[in-house]
Each structure stands twice: as C-alpha cells, then as structure tokens.
C-alpha cells in the first residue's frame, strides 16, 4: 500500500506530513516508557523483520497480491508507540533506498501504514485481551483480529486522503469499495503472519512480548510432595544490569536477524510478482494517471535490486540483505537513543528528588 508521488495533491500531502511528524514526535516520547535494556535492540530487529516480510508479496486474488503492513505485529511485540516508530523507519528506508513509496507521499504512507494500523490494531487487541482469558492463545487470537481489521482501516484512511486531495476525478465511492474489498483479503494474510509470529515469540520468550505483559507464570514450590504457588516476590525496583539484559536477548535477536536475512535475501525471490492491492486498484480505477517519477528512481537499490547486477536472484537477494542491515542499524540507533533519553530523564528525576530531600 505504498502510495507513490502524484496520487495525492501537494496541500493534502503536506498536511499528512505534518500529522505524521506529530504522530512520530508523540511516539518518540511514548516509546521512552516502552523501551528498556532488553526491548530497545529488539525494536530495531522488529523493524528489520517487517522490512523483510514486506518483500514477500502473497497472492490474494486474480492478478493481485498483498504484503504485510506490520503495524499490528510491531504494536503487540514492542508496544504501540514503538510500533509506530518501527513501521516509520521501514517506510523511510524503503522510500530513500529502494524508491518504494513517494518521498512527497511519505507522510501519507506513515499515516496509512504506521499510525492507523497501530491505533486500530492495538485498540482491538487490548479490548479483546481484557475480556478473553489470560492465556497465550488469547493473546495470539487478539493479535490476529487486530491485524485483520487494521488493513482495511488503512485502506479507508487512504480513501479519505484521496477524497480530500486526489489528483484524478474517479468517484470516491468506487475507490472506497475497491480498496476496502481487496484489502479485506490482504488483511487475512496480515492476520495470519502476525498471529504466527506473535505465537512463535510467545512460545519461547513470552516476557519479550509487550502485549502479553498480563501473562504471569507463578513460581511453583514443592511442599510435602506437591506443587504449590510460591508467595509473590517483592517488586524489584532496580533494573538488571545492561550486560545481563543483553545476554538474555542475544539468542532471540540473533535468531530473528538470521530469519529476516533469509526471508529478504532468499525467500523474497519467490514472492508474487502481481501488483499489490493499491497498485491494482489504481490501475483498474484510473487513479494513477498523474503519478510522477520517484525522486530516488536512480538509486543503486531502486526497485529492490542492486544496480549493474544482471542476475535477478542475486540482485534482489543482495538488495534485501542490504535493506535488512540498513533498517536494523537505523532502527536500533533510534531506539537506543530513545532508551538513553529515558535513562537520562530518570537520572534527572532522581537528582531532583535527592536535592529536595536535602
């Protein structure tokens, strides 16, 4: 659903850019409460994983494909504020390096694919988690439902922006029907990928899933030959050392990175070549009449291939690997900076409290 330059006029694109910048600013502040020594590096990995899976277009109808948007997955794994940042980093890398999604439409894409998907998915997810039993299956089912609904919601947001600033005169009703219709089907794929990924992480490290924080496995003690729940431990207010936290997530991080590299570098070659939902609707309805060339169309990695490498498999694979590396590097840098800012804020609060005590 990457909107190219020329679909939406300049005033609405600028307004969407301002709104997207505001959402990112709010998310940067909110992410300070979500990120710690363990989750900061994992957030960069989530961004890289979303980038890699977005390269795997899957068929949804005759001549149409879809791909993961990732807002629901990111929100459940690392939190809604951090989730917005994860998808925004992916969109930035795709626009700058791979000429995927217009640069003047970056704000439109952030609103569609990052902000709306996260808000809708996480709202649905939290609502279901509150009424379902506290089990891993419930978390997975809630993630599935949130992801399913987030995709047509993003299609609806695009339709709204088209209604406000579309550059063609195609009736809004036709655009809405076509967009939502195909993206309901894409939402099924989104939901399946989200549920499978969340379920896999829950199976090995439920403590690393932000949306599963309510799942607490009580410590068992053997008393007189039978197992009983251990007394609740007093809360530990002092965070674990950063080195220990890093070690505790190293295996998960390495496994996730290798998986992302394999998906982008090898599996992506077998992705569907059919146009995605937005491209298909745009061609069928004629809303792509005024599309303009991408500002980064001469990029060495444009269209997910390495320039001057004629072998399609090798070119696409290298581009995918480079994209994963760039995304994890940029994402991790941003999230570590946010984490350090949080630590700085806590340090300032502690110094203020100490001064007041004196």
Q: What is the pLDDT of residue 158?
A: 97
- 223: helix, coil or strand? strand
Euclidean distance between CA atoms 182 and 292, whole angstroms: 24
d(CA 341, CA 211): 23
Indicate left, alpha or beta for 116 from its phi (over 0: left) and psi (-120 to 50: alpha).
alpha
Six-digit token string for 195:
């549920």
Q: How far apart are CA 65 and CA 59, in angstroms?
A: 4
Domains of the chain: total = 1
* 241 domain-assigned: no
Structure tokens at 188: 């099924």
| Token output for 18 | 């301002």
What pLDDT score was predicted for residue 186?
A: 97
Is residue 73 domain-resident? Answer: yes
pLDDT at 39: 86
> How confident is the model at residue 224, as a pLDDT?
61
pLDDT at residue number 221 = 55
Residues 6+ apart with CB under 8 A from 313: 269
Global pTM reads 0.88
Closest C-alpha to 114, from 46, 167, 202: 46
CA distances from 149 to 9, 137, 189 (A): 27, 19, 11
pLDDT at 231: 55
Q: Can you tell me the distance from the alpha carbon of 304 to that of 294, in angstroms, rounded to the nearest whole number?
A: 14
**Does residue 5 lie in a domain region?**
no
Alpha-carbon distance of 103 to 4, in angstroms, equals 8
For strands 64-66 and 58-61, give the pairing. antiparallel
**With the CA atoms of 23, 97, 72 and 139 taken in that order, what torsion angle do they form, in degrees rounded to the nearest 10?**
-130
Please report, in tens digits, the pLDDT of each residue of the chain (358 residues total): 899 999 999 999 999 999 999 999 999 999 999 998 888 889 999 999 999 999 999 999 889 999 999 999 999 999 999 999 999 999 999 999 999 999 999 999 999 999 999 999 999 999 999 999 999 999 999 999 999 999 999 999 999 999 999 999 999 999 999 999 999 999 999 999 999 999 999 999 999 999 998 775 554 555 666 655 555 444 444 344 444 444 578 889 999 999 999 999 999 999 999 999 999 999 999 999 999 999 999 999 999 999 999 999 999 999 999 999 999 999 999 999 998 876 656 555 544 444 444 4
The predicted structure's pLDDT at residue 179 = 97
27 within domain boundaries: yes
Domain CATH for 140: 1.10.1760.20
SS (H, E, C) 292-311: CCCCCCCCCCHHHCCCCCCC
Q: What is the DSSP letter of 121?
A: H
Asked if residue 76 is part of any domain, the answer here is: yes
Smallest Cα–Cα separation from 32: which of 346, 352, 349? 346
Domain region containing 302: 10-216+246-353
Quick check: is 239 in a domain? Answer: no
Question: CB of 101 within 8 A of CB of 296?
Answer: no
Q: What is the pLDDT of residue 215?
A: 74
Q: With H, G, I as helix, E, B as strand and everything else as coil, classify residue 358.
A: coil
Strand segments, DSSP code E, in the chain are 58-61, 64-66, 220-223, 226-229
149 and 124 in contact (C-beta within 8 Å)?
yes
Domain annotation covers residue 1: no
| N-term to C-term CA, the chain | 57
User: Hey, which residues does 59 pair with through a beta bridge?
Assistant: 65
User: Is position 229 within any domain?
Assistant: no
Q: Which two tokens stand for residue 28?
A: 């940067």
């Amino acid at each position: 659903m990457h909107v190219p330059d020329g679909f939406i006029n300049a005033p609405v694109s600028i307004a969407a850019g301002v709104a997207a910048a505001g959402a990112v600013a709010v998310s940067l502040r909110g992410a300070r409460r979500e990120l710690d020594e363990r989750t900061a590096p994992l957030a960069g990995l989530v961004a890289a994983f979303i980038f890699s899976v977005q390269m795997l277009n899957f068929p949804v109808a005759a001549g149409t494909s879809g791909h993961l948007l990732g807002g629901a997955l990111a929100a459940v794994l690392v939190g809604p504020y951090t989730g917005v940042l994860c998808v925004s980093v992916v969109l930035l890398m795709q626009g700058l390096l791979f000429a995927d999604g217009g640069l003047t439409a970056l704000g439109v894409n952030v609103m569609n694919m990052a902000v709306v998907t996260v808000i809708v998915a996480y709202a649905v997810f939290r609502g279901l988690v509150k009424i379902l039993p506290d089990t891993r299956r419930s978390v997975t089912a809630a993630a599935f439902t949130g992801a399913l609904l987030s995709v047509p919601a993003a299609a609806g947001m695009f339709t709204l922006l088209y209604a406000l600033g579309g550059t063609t005169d195609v009736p809004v009703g036709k655009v809405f029907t076509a967009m939502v219709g195909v993206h309901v089907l894409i939402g099924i794929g989104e939901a399946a990928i989200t549920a499978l990924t969340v379920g896999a992480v829950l199976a090995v490290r439920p403590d690393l899933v932000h949306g599963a924080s309510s799942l607490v496995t009580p410590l068992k003690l053997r008393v007189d030959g039978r197992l009983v729940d251990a007394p609740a431990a007093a809360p530990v207010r002092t965070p674990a050392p950063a080195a220990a936290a890093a070690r505790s997530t190293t295996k998960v991080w390495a496994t996730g990175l290798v998986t992302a590299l394999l998906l982008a570098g090898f599996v992506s070659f077998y992705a569907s070549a059919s146009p995605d939902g937005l491209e298909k609707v745009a061609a069928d309805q004629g809303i792509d009449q005024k599309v303009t060339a991408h500002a980064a169309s001469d990029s060495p990695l444009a269209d997910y291939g390495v320039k001057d490498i004629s072998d399609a498999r090798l070119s696409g694979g290298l581009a995918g690997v480079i994209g994963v590396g760039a995304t994890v590097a940029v994402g991790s840098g941003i999230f570590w900076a946010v984490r350090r800012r949080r630590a700085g804020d806590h340090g300032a609060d502690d110094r203020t409290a100490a001064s007041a005590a004196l």
